[in-house]
Structure 1
């Protein structure tokens, strides 16, 4: 079954396409990520899928309903967590959730039970009467996810769900999201430029300049790159470049940290290099393909975890092509 489907979806701002002919199929119960730098068109896509923005052209369905002609039906079946916080800081956690329950049309008894369940699920029960202004950024994000789950949505949309969170808090948020999907079987659709977040996905769509460039599981996408990166420092790196070429048929790039080369199955190749070079090897590391490598391969730019956008392929050096 398909939770989200888009065909030829466009969104223009003036004459500029922010989303350019998107085709998409997200299966029910999947964690699906849109991976791309800021400005790629991810938020515009999520705005169309959640009925906040009318598509310029094309067709999209969420939970079996057209986002344009049956927007109200779509809204009844989705939850949304925005990139920017929309909590009322003067209200308590419980009051924020009860207000959302009213908007979802829940009766008093049903709302009370749902609010209690969400507070418990996100481990906020002990803070239910605390004004949100006293919450940390991580606690606020957990409360926003709890709010998005009121009304038992079939699809939960999250726009950059862990922006501004430290590594430990980010991991805690994903622990809750993973448990939620396992327990309730909902579809999780999120946008991100954080590479480590994309590893949580069943499937990833790499998005660049308004276009879906490629799609697949993290393992499938990395398999396209294939080769591992080996960083090597020897007693004589200049001589090592020639020896690597003559004895192994490998091309090495000089870097500030030594030599860099790409090889298949780096873990098994390293012992051969260390014994076959005839030079003292002072250090060696093997790095398997990353999603940053995948993005670089398909778009010519690399996503920076700082969220500052992308960097040119040329600035990364020819050895990473």
Structure 2
């Protein structure tokens, strides 16, 4: 005789997202900084796209990669934040099973793309500093398009098994997800089956994407630092390295919270659940908000163009 408290969720029609367990009373207050960061991310990334499109002098590899980064940030934040805010504001916790898997796919797919774009941007900095006279002949528009296509296809193909495998598992325990969005392991951990394939494949994706990408970024910057070290004056060294500061800042803003979230989810069993979910949300929100701010402040062409837009509107 089956337990009366057990329901058959082999093909659940919906999942229930709890938000941040233990902090339900503070959901409305937590939503304020979340909404603010989301609004800044939307405005900032659309501003980057608009400025680059309107300004012919910005039609170059670095800015094309920056536009790709802006698009991935928009998709990552928009695929999760509206539903998250509906949980905080309206207690709308239900999410359709297929919609949950779609959210999972878009979040992880575009996060993988974002990591690939950082590698492409590191390559651009490497060529610009180590082979400045050949930059325009090496990083041609067709090559930039091929790099962008490779980044997109890698994200699509690597993450596709996540929802495919998740759909196969039987969910016979519960359909309640203790999270603010449909994160991969938060979903498959609900399955009453041997999910080692999903778990191992998730580890493979993390190490093949982030591991390889970080390796290529580090190699690029080792070569960049070597090239900078042989410049004749300290001023020239600082000025040249200054062109990399924006890229380094967005890399740190992306990888540090992401790595911390991954490690606490896999190994931090003593970390409080609400703390882990807050860190996961920082990983979700902070990079899309900071990326346009960092590039807007650090890149003179973008900063000047943005100031011109506001000046013209004010006159």
Q: TM class, shorter-chain normalised?
A: under 0.3
TM-score if structure 2 supplies the norm length? 0.23
- Structure with more helix by fraction: 2
Which structure is higher in RCO with an 8 Å CA cutoff and minimum separation 6? Answer: 2
Per residue, is there more strand in 1 or in 2?
A: 1
Give 1 or 2 for the bigger CA radius of gyration: 1
